[in-house]
Copies of this chain bind each other. A is one copy, B any other.
Amino acid sequence: MLINPLATTEREDPRITRTRNLLIEALNELMGEKSFESITVSEIAERATLNRATFYAHFQDKFSLLEYSIRSLVRTQLHAELSADPGLTEMIEKMLRVVCGLLEGYEKHCPAPRGQMQALSEKQIKDEIYTLLLQRLETSKPNRPQQASVQQTAMVTSWAIYGAAFQWSQQSKRQPVAELVRQVLPLITANLQAYLPIKPEPLASPRRAAAGRAPSGLLSYNLRLHPQFL
């Protein structure tokens, strides 16, 4: 597995990858110890055994670094989960599960306050979901004329997915993810009925709930990149 799934250039100077990985690891370590807001660039550089100026040669600020780190985690997890190219309903279900796992991971391993971090990860996660959904909707034609554009549909859906996962993560006593899926999936897929094959999913289906997979194993991807999630 590539340690840097975001790399676009063919091959980059090994010093660069080394430095970036050191910075990401340093940030991940620190985020297990204290809140993101209280972490300074100086600390990150020191922990990475790098000069502070070197940090700025790679990232604009600590937010850029976190963004980069989160993005690679999200992308890896989503692609791994969706590589089987499942049906639209299953796709959304899997997305919901992945996002729940990510939010749970952050809450478990990163000391509060998490305000800035949440806002940042939210954007990265939604962007990835939106892109994947858009690709999917663009390939499958709707079986009846649609008022809304594909972009609108994908956007509303991706936000709805994240909103559901967020609501779940905010619960004081968290319900099983399978239950969340059973309750919320109809809400979300109601938007997409024109894109669903043949017979649209009924709003309440006991068989769906029974078929829900256990949410284990969600956090097992990309371990080298994000060891704090263990």
What is the CB-to-nearest-CB distance from A217 to chain B, in angstroms, rounded to a whole number? 25
CB–CB B164/A155 < 8 A: yes
Most chain B CB inside 10 Å of its own CB: which residue of A156, A193, A204: A156
Q: Decide: A148 and B191 in contact? CB cutoff 8 A.
A: no
A139 interface residue per 8 A CB criterion: no
Q: Say yes or no: is A55 at the interface (Cβ < 8 Å to chain B).
A: no
Provide the bound-state CA to CA distance between A188 and B120, in Å: 25
Per-residue B-contact encoding for A39-60, CB less than 8 Å = 1, 0 else = 0000000000000000000000
A147 within 8 A of B: yes
* Contact present for A163 and B156 (CB under 8 Å): yes
> Do A187 and B152 have beta carbons less than 8 Å apart?
yes
Does A184 sit at the interface, judged by CB under 8 A? yes
Of the listed residues A148, A164, A166, the one surrounded by the most CB atoms of chain B closer than 10 A to its CB is A148
Q: Determine if A158 is an interface residue (Cβ-Cβ < 8 Å).
A: yes
| B183 in contact with A148 (CB, 8 Å) | yes
- List, in ascending order, chain B residues with CB within 8 A of A193's CB: 190
Within 8 A of B (CB), among A97-142: 119-120, 122-123
Complex-state Cα separation, A182 to B186, whole angstroms = 22
